[in-house]
Structure 1
Amino acid sequence: MTTEINRRAFLAGACCVAASPLMTPVSFAAMPGDNRLVTIVLRGGMDGLALVQPYGDPALSLLRPKLALGADDGLIDLDGFFGLHPAAKDLVPLWRAGELAFVHATSTPYRDGRSHFDGQDMLESGSAVQGERTGWLNRAIAVIPRPADRRAIDVTTTAELILSGQSPVDVWSARADLALAEDELAFFVRLYQNDLAFAAALQEATETDLLSDTIHDMQGKPRGGLAAVAKFAAGMLSADHRIASFSINGWDTHLSQSRIFQRPAMDLAAAIATLKANLSPEIWRKTAVLAITEFGRTARENGSFGTDHGTGGVAILAGGAVAGGKVYRDWPSLADGDLLDDRDLRPTMDLRQIAAAMLRQQFGISTSDLESSVFPGLVVDKRPAFLRG
């Protein structure tokens, strides 16, 4: 479904080449009200036992003699039982400010196999069965009050299921092989100098550093990365958008996990920190961030000093709307006999419950709509402790 071009649509069209080096899907939805929601899909199966390590569980060091960290390795103590991976140290200020929380031993209903594609489909569709081709975030848009005010924009290199569906979504398709040089930027300035609306949109993009942050450097390498994606999302959320969604890849750590895990963990921390830095205190106070992955990884490290596809993992919550400074969990233990199928962290929380709670708090979606339309078949729990409200 096409929509009328406006200032935001121009930003998504004429300036799309500026964001091309990001190589990361970003999606947005315009919503009434003041609350915001950001979802970050961690693609590849993020190892929750590595990001938020239960060092207080004595079985961890037995299962992971090479991968388990201690204080001497830089592990950052959170609560005397869990520690944060040092690659995510940029999240510590949010933890101390009570704006960061973790929900451990979480999972989607996916149990039938260990396929990234199937796992991500279930994560994004919000369904308990395979085959649903609409996303829970798109279905949520349809039941948020004031339907006439709903508008979404999908900024992506490939379509993401989480925002696919019947609710109208504008599309910004970034080209990964283009970059905006100074002469090209000058061309756009000249082209639109006599069109006040388009010229204003281009000026806005320039002033928010969307263009300058993503232009290639002198060596031809793209600048900005995930921080630039988050900064762009913050700019959209600071105006008329209320929902943003993007992805972070690189979490499939079958081998050499100690090395490979560093980059995506740093990207995740930088993205969340950048969101806060580029949102006003008033907006950040009303923002909830939810970072989720398709499945966790095996409790035991493998022979290649990595981990394989597992089940239970961790959800990351951030923002002023989150009751942070705590790791929420119904901890199942990693001891012999307590692992799921003798290999995985046993999940004790359905990820859909976390998403449902955020949608209810941030946008006033009723429990009946959550159970019938957004997450069909889910019996929504009472208000959880990890949100303010």
Structure 2
Amino acid sequence: MDRRIFLKGATAFGCSLAAHPLTTTLTMAAVPGEARLVVIILRGAMDGLDVVRPVGDSGFAALRPTLSEGTLGLGGQFGLHPALGPLMPLWAAGELGFAHAVSTPYRDKRSHFDGQDVLEAGTGLDVPVPAVRDGWLNRMIQAMPGVQAETAYAIGREALPVLEGAADVRSWSPDVALQLSEQNRLLLDRIYHDDPLFRDAGAEAITLAAETGAAASGGGPRADVEHLIDFAAGRLRGETRIAAFSQTGWDTHRAQGRALPKALDLLAASILRLKTQLGPVWGQTTVLAMTEFGRTVRENGTGGTDHGTGGVMLIAGGAVRGGRVMGRWPGIGETELYEGRDLMPTADVRSYAAWAMRGLYGLDRGLLEGSVFQGLDMGDDPGLLL
């Protein structure tokens, strides 16, 4: 039985579940070696054209009349959204990069739910998402010899399908206040004494609640993010080697000039906090931040953008070869757009994740293309890692 189901059922015994305001989910796992991989799922479709702006393309300003101010130069034809200014030192140090014009194989319907399902399942459209019972990170763990279960933690109410599957990955919420009277604890012990699954899960939940202190809410989104990152970094400094969490706030249909900076500020804070808290381990860390699809090339009538196709992947860490925008730029002229409205994808976002896995853990290309990302053609090595 899923441990999240156990924790939900435990409310009958006096649990008080504090819902995370960002519905952010964090899951971890331990694998052999010293390389760390952190995957951030950006739910809501981040506008890659606003994050990494093609200012060198002559038509960009006209397509984005209110969404192209304050750009920070990255050299060449691209510039960075000013809300990511705190990450510029990482760019200068080669610890931050981007892959532009990327997408999953998902097309046309532009549904957040379907798009996120495809992103986290990691399959092509030849494999129906409902038939996929595990996420691509879990399939990677299944393929690695010597994997050990290290306690894993899921923050918030939402599951993280990218790490669900047969490999032993556990979940926990540091923002859950697990409050049991002594009488209820004794009752739990008695009911589940002869059932090792429930007994061990219950003991684990109670122990971890005491260990993490169930941080009090009320500190705002920045405090919540800092608590999440501190919790993750503490485990990554130990036995944990893979962590994944999600952040919301990227669906910017209107007033994008006000909404997007808030999400970018939290993303930048997450990365910088991770770097600080990991200390020397940052040099062995790769961070991949990806979203379900991009947004329309043209700004809409309410100062926002609508669901699109091609987007941007953020790549950070002390183990990466950054300071560059990777990928083949398709252009944003009328005839260069996908269906006359979206940035044309020129690369599969899964290929960058696959090359990162190959570089970090030495996984065979055939395994990555055939099992982890079923049906993927990884293409040429983009040289993500040092």
TM-score of the pair, normalised by structure 2 = 0.83
Q: Please report how far the alpha carbon of residue 381 of structure 1 lies from its aligned counterpart in structure 2 after TM superposition.
A: 2.6
- What is the alpha-carbon distance in structure 2 between the residues aligned to residue 280 and residue 133 of structure 1? 36
Match of 1:8 in 2: none
Identity of aligned residues (%): 47
| Counterpart among 347, 350, 363 of residue 352 in structure 1 | 350
Deviating above 4 A after TM superposition, structure 1's stretches of 4 or more consecutive aligned residues are 15-22, 173-176, 197-206, 220-223
**More off after superposition, 162-171 vs 48-57:** 162-171
Does structure 1 conserve the Cα–Cα contact (< 8 Å) formed by 2:296 and 2:343?
yes
- What is the alpha-carbon distance in structure 2 between the residues aligned to residue 116 and residue 321 of structure 1? 31
* SS at structure 2 position matched to 1:155: coil
The structure-2 alpha-carbon separation of the partners of 1:99 and 1:17, relative to structure 1 and needing over 3 Å to count, comes to: farther
Q: Please report how far the alpha carbon of residue 379 of structure 1 lies from its aligned counterpart in structure 2 after TM superposition.
A: 2.2
- What is the alpha-carbon distance in structure 1 between the residues aligned to residue 206 and residue 150 of structure 2? 23
Does structure 2 conserve the Cα–Cα contact (< 8 Å) formed by 1:20 and 1:174?
no
- What is the alpha-carbon distance in structure 1 between the residues aligned to residue 151 and residue 258 of structure 2? 37
Match of 2:188 in 1: none
**Structure 2: any 5+ residue segments left out of the alignment?**
4-14, 182-203
The structure-2 alpha-carbon separation of the partners of 1:221 and 1:150, relative to structure 1 and needing over 3 Å to count, comes to: closer
**More off after superposition, 229-238 vs 113-122:** 229-238
Q: Please report how far the alpha carbon of residue 23 of structure 1 lies from its aligned counterpart in structure 2 after TM superposition.
A: 3.9
Matches within 5 A, 1:1-389: 23-69=23-69, 73=70, 75-129=71-125, 130-131=128-129, 132-147=132-147, 149-151=148-150, 153-156=152-155, 157-173=157-173, 205=212, 214-216=215-217, 224-281=223-280, 283-388=281-386
Does structure 2 conserve the Cα–Cα contact (< 8 Å) formed by 1:145 and 1:364?
no
* SS at structure 2 position matched to 1:244: strand
- What is the alpha-carbon distance in structure 2 between the residues aligned to residue 87 and residue 68 of structure 1? 12
Q: Please report how far the alpha carbon of residue 358 of structure 1 lies from its aligned counterpart in structure 2 after TM superposition.
A: 1.0
Does structure 1 conserve the Cα–Cα contact (< 8 Å) formed by 2:98 and 2:326?
yes
- What is the alpha-carbon distance in structure 2 between the residues aligned to residue 341 and residue 22 of structure 1? 33
Q: Please report how far the alpha carbon of residue 32 of structure 1 lies from its aligned counterpart in structure 2 after TM superposition.
A: 1.3
Does structure 1 conserve the Cα–Cα contact (< 8 Å) formed by 2:98 and 2:324?
yes
* SS at structure 1 position matched to 2:100: strand
The structure-2 alpha-carbon separation of the partners of 1:166 and 1:338, relative to structure 1 and needing over 3 Å to count, comes to: same
Match of 2:10 in 1: none
- What is the alpha-carbon distance in structure 1 between the residues aligned to residue 31 and residue 258 of structure 2? 40
The structure-2 alpha-carbon separation of the partners of 1:34 and 1:338, relative to structure 1 and needing over 3 Å to count, comes to: same
Letter in structure 2 aligned against 1:275: L
The structure-2 alpha-carbon separation of the partners of 1:125 and 1:2, relative to structure 1 and needing over 3 Å to count, comes to: closer
- What is the alpha-carbon distance in structure 2 between the residues aligned to residue 138 and residue 198 of structure 1? 22
Letter in structure 2 aligned against 1:245: A
* SS at structure 2 position matched to 1:269: helix
Letter in structure 2 aligned against 1:266: D
**Structure 1: any 5+ residue segments left out of the alignment?**
4-14, 185-196
Letter in structure 1 aligned against 2:377: V
Q: Please report how far the alpha carbon of residue 269 of structure 1 lies from its aligned counterpart in structure 2 after TM superposition.
A: 0.6
- What is the alpha-carbon distance in structure 2 between the residues aligned to residue 326 and residue 16 of structure 1? 46
Does structure 2 conserve the Cα–Cα contact (< 8 Å) formed by 1:101 and 1:324?
yes
Letter in structure 1 aligned against 2:283: R
The structure-2 alpha-carbon separation of the partners of 1:380 and 1:151, relative to structure 1 and needing over 3 Å to count, comes to: farther
Match of 1:6 in 2: none
- What is the alpha-carbon distance in structure 2 between the residues aligned to residue 17 and residue 273 of structure 1? 29
Deviations 1:140-177 (A, max 9, x none): 11011224x2546241322111011111121214667x
- What is the alpha-carbon distance in structure 2 between the residues aligned to residue 344 and residue 270 of structure 1? 29
* SS at structure 1 position matched to 2:152: strand
Does structure 2 conserve the Cα–Cα contact (< 8 Å) formed by 1:158 and 1:173?
no
* SS at structure 2 position matched to 1:124: helix
Deviations 1:263-309 (A, max 9, x none): 1010111101111010022x111100000000000000111111000
The structure-2 alpha-carbon separation of the partners of 1:17 and 1:58, relative to structure 1 and needing over 3 Å to count, comes to: same
Letter in structure 1 aligned against 2:297: A
**More off after superposition, 22-31 vs 95-104:** 22-31
* SS at structure 1 position matched to 2:370: helix
Letter in structure 2 aligned against 1:313: G
